[in-house]
Amino acid sequence: MSNEKRGTWGSRSQFILASIGSAVGLGNAWRFPGLAAKHGGGAFLMVYLLVMLVIGIPFLMMEISIGRKMHRGVPGTLRAIKKPTEPIGWFAVSNAFVISTYYAVVFAWVIMMAFASYKFAGLTGDSEAASGIWATMIKTTGTTSGYGTISLPVLGCLVIAWVLIYACIRNGTGTVGKVVKYTVFLPIICLVILAAKGIFMPGAMAGLTKFFIPDFTSLASAEIWIDAIGQVFYSLSIMMAIMVAYGSFLSEDSNVATDCIIIAFSDFAISVLSGIVLFTTMSGTGQLDNMTASGIGTAFIVYPQSIVLLTKSGVANAIFAFVFYFCLCTLAIDSAFSIIEGVSTAISDKFKLSHKKTTLVLCIVASIISLWFITGAGLAWLDIVDNWCNAFSLILVGILEAITIGWLFDPHKVLKEVNRNTVGFKMPAWWFVISIKFLAPLTLTGFFIWNLVSLFKSGGIYGAADGYSLASNIIGGWLVLILCIISGFIVKIVEKSLEKKGYKPDEDVWEDTAE
């Protein structure tokens, strides 16, 4: 058992930068622009902004404020609010752990492409060859078979990725606070450089027009609203145990209401900047209609086609390739280590373990599991697991969290925590309470049902979707989902066993803060 003192953020700016770093990830760089291209450009921006204001910001405030109040990870916080809801916290933690195992692989891919940027120098004008660099290097079969093949470049970059993740969070808030001073601003600098290049390309204005001018006919589609809701929740890093953990390291005098506004709008601004980069570059190179909503196809297949068409100089194109993939590296690292931090905080809090040792063990275990995703079959398995973690597990966590605070507890008490220490701006009750109690659970439930119907519609009664086999969907989908759901009950069994050996769980309860 550990008696180490709980860490705190060194300053308000460290917390804000760390939260922005967690929120701003690869999804901002490629998924957000892809969804905008899919849904009428400016129309998607409008819907996204509306959903962020109405639901995203209140949810973000809720998670950070309850973390600060109890100074615990999400399981311990929910236990203090309503003891029977602790398993919901472990559901969030276990799902985040699964996400970390494959997110590190995506991080490794962008590291690999940054190292491989020299390849673009010899491919000027050859879009077909450029589009195949990534697929050739990862040695994917594109199916769920081919486990015996592992790409050595990806393996090397995966080792680098995990070393970087651990190095960034080995001392908790101490190292995170130092790292985010650089990793939050570096991608912004890279994006500004790429945006400047894109804006001055011939045809760039057509891209900007498509990105910012709304196609109002898109608003009639249910899909634009579904995608916007999903992107808001994914982008703000809520429902993933991260923001509760980050909030738990806040000092009592922090201003949650204002800080959350800054975090949310910074995240949105960087998404828009990423959109400018992709839309102008794609338009300037004649690739605008090839953007995909998935993101991975755009970043690793379509964007390389544009890179070799940027200039007639191979060296210049290689430099821009490096800037782009280095930008993705700096975006990925904050999100990657924040996921592990959320998991490590929950486990070390629960069992009174050393945070540093817990983090090291987690990184080792997760890195071993992540080897599965760099085999020849890894890309297909990553696609399956990612779909289930985001489309089902994450949304279920959000529904259960909203019900816990909105219906099993009192959202007014949480709002009081949100507005503690505010000067000037205060979160209105009509905005916060209506969102947490009604809008969040209803919209997330609708989102979950939509995903479930889509799954069975495309994959049959057992949900064998996306062209993958029933067995692979059961293993990578249903089984992972069930294990995440029951993880809290597994923890309870472990806890009961440890209690016989003298372990005493924390029994903190929510006590209202005095006026």
| Backbone φ, ψ for residue 150 (5° rounding) | -130, 130
Residue 7, CA atoms < 13 Å, CB-side half-sphere: 24
Spatial distance between the Cα atoms of 60 and 45, rounded to a whole number of angstroms: 19
Residue 493 exposure: Cα atoms within 13 Å on the Cβ side: 5
Rounded Cα–Cα distance for residues 120 and 321 (Å): 7
Residue type, 267: D
293 CA to centre of own chain: 16
pLDDT, one tens digit per residue, over 314-360 is 999 999 999 999 999 999 999 999 999 999 999 999 999 999 999 99
pLDDT of residue 2: 53
Q: Which of 30-51 are b and which e, b meaning 16 or more Cβ less than 10 Å from the residue's Cβ?
A: bbbbbbbbbbbbbbbbbbbbeb
CB-based contacts of 77: which residues, under 8 Å, 6+ apart?
66, 67, 69, 70, 89, 244, 248
Which residues in 113-241 belong to E strands, given as ranges?
none
Spatial distance between the Cα atoms of 308 and 133, rounded to a whole number of angstroms:
12
- Claim: this prediction has a pTM higher than 0.85: yes
Cα(403)–Cα(414) distance, integer angstroms: 13
Name residue 214's beta-bridge partners.
41
**Pair 200, 193: CB distance under 8 Å:** no
Closest C-alpha to 291, from 231, 371, 214, 210 = 210
Q: What is the pLDDT of residue 287?
A: 86
User: How many residues comprise the chain?
Assistant: 515
Q: What is the CA radius of gyration of the chain?
A: 22
Distances (CA, A) of 429 to 59, 201, 260, 412, 436: 13, 48, 16, 7, 10
pLDDT of residue 461: 43
Q: The tokens of 370 are what? A: 């992540």
Residues of the chain with pLDDT under 50: 460-463, 465
- Return the closest-CA partner of residue 449 out of 226, 239, 293: 226
Q: Give the span between the Cα atoms of 82 and 85, in whole angstroms.
A: 6
Residue appearing with tokens 């925590």: 417
- CA 324, CA 58: separation in Å to the nearest integer? 33
- What is the reported pLDDT for 467? 66
Tell me what pLDDT residue 66 has. 97
* Residues in a beta bridge with 375: 150
Q: Is 390:420 a contact under the CB 8 Å cutoff?
A: no
Q: Using CB atoms within 10 Å of the CB of residue 149, give its burial: 0 to 12 exposed, 13 to 18 middle, 19+ buried.
A: middle
Q: What is the pLDDT of residues 130-166, one digit of tens each?
A: 989 999 999 988 788 877 789 999 999 999 999 999 9
Q: CA separation (Å) from 418 to 64, 254, 275? A: 8, 10, 32
What are the residues whose beta carbons fall under 8 Å from the beta carbon of 210, sequence distance 6 or more? 37, 41, 279, 283, 288
Tokens 């009961």 locate to 496
HEC string of 488-508? HHHHHHHHHHHHCCCCCCCCC
Count Cβ atoms below 10 Å from residue 53 Cβ, excluding itself: 17
CA 17/CA 24 separation, integer angstroms: 10
Contact call for residues 354 and 4 (beta carbons, < 8 A): yes
What does the pLDDT read at residue 462? 45
How far CA 507 is from CA of 86, 324, 465, in Å, comes to: 12, 48, 43
Chain mean position to CA 184: 15
